[in-house]
Structure 1
Amino acid sequence: MHRFGNSKDMEYRMMIDLLDNSIPLTLDIYTILFRSGYFEGYLEGVVRIWVLFQRLRRHNYNKAPLMFLSDVFYWKLNNHPMANILKNHLPIFNDYFVENFHSSIRSQTAESNTALQIIQKAKIFDVEKNSNLSFKEAFVNSRNPVISQVRLNYLEKKVSLFLFSIFDEIFHNLGNTNQVNNNKYPSFALPTFKINVDIKALPLAWNTKSKPSDDKDKFCDAEKCLLSNNNNIDLPNNNVILICGHGFHKECLTLYNGNCNHLSSEIKKKY
């Protein structure tokens, strides 16, 4: 990745955001943060997942995180005992079993089923799930989900080669990503992937009013840059690009306590 330097290329930043932010967040928030009882990490994860839902405009999903955060902040502000109960016993508040049962019912029912038919199938499914299935298991080949270490090593190398080829092509397409329309939510042509994507697929910086500067002679996105020499080439070791996609000089970033002021402003407006 060293050859990309401090590039703000949209395709490159989109892939970095996907691999370093979105995918780890969605995989870890339940399996690691929640189930381990790491409350502070889970709380931060809920904030981040809400921001992700906002960016993707998933209006059916962005309400639940806000409701959870509102409850937690209210309990903390009023010294409600529920705050400590939740913090100390987080894994107990698990709705996985409800969601899993709901998903199983959906997979075994059709839109044409009546309410009574769905209830009946749910009862049958519940009995089958909790009863002795030794007879059924004797005639059904259960799939072994365990993957051998050899297989994992093979998949790791295969994915590494795939990502290497993707980033190599992105490198040769630096600066060639173009906006294709002026809609409220514009689309962009990604030369490496040969597709047009909605702006929501790009990192958060491109979903704010203050887009990252694409001027080769201007690197820092701070509103009032502290350095007179606002140049990416002359100060490569003094430049920082945040996961959102905005770039700052280290001195300028300290003005905002290490946070992106553009993103903070957008979140405050939405919240």
Structure 2
Amino acid sequence: MFDEYPVENFHSLVRRHTSGKVTCGEWLRRDAMFIDYHRNDNQFAQSFAPKRSYPYTKKNLDLMAKRTAIFLLQFFEKLWINCGKAERKMEGARIKKPYYYFPPLSKRFSFGAIPLGYHSSHLPNQNQFCDYENCDFIFNTNGIVLICGHAYHEECFDRIGLKCQYCFEYLSASIDELSHSFNERLKMNIDIENEFDQMHILSSEDDNSLDQAEIIKENNDIDKELADKIAGII
């Protein structure tokens, strides 16, 4: 048995997306083909569909990894060199308030900055001493309060590997977020460099050889800089 519902349904779909003044059969046929082609085009679903090609080449991945390593080594080297050099400044347009600067960080920190534990998903518990979820101790003796604000019994702290699990999760997620942001910036720089290179492609073999030599030189320079940074901390 032939069901007319799909035909009538699609006819209504075409009429809903075309002007009432369009009566020419050829125009309606063209609009129908266009709607039929795009009616299953779901942008939300397409964002989860696998791409035809991986967006990064091995050369770009190697370059991004080396640049990231150099950046992290330089950053933590500056933190180590400036250890204990925090500076207190009175700032404010009307009311002067104390702010603290920890080089090489450019952001200032107010005197009332709360401990790390209050930034995590599990705030320090004000109603009981131990913040360990599976704590089975009744008394608040034989315990420690960490600098982050979380408190544990020594036995509970030993169970979780001698580290605050809530602050560890918060710091790990923050590092992943910053790493992703930094990788996106590196990718942006590489894309700009690639576009610049494509605009200045030269046809001669001599120029192509020169470009290849410059790429090799850049990789060698990065390798040398990374090796020097690693050697400086060993």
Looking at both structures, which has the greater relative contact order when contacts are Cα pairs under 8 Å and sequence separation is at least 6?
A: 1
TM over 0.5: no
Bigger radius of gyration among the two = 2
What is the TM-score when the length of structure 2 is the normalising length? Answer: 0.27
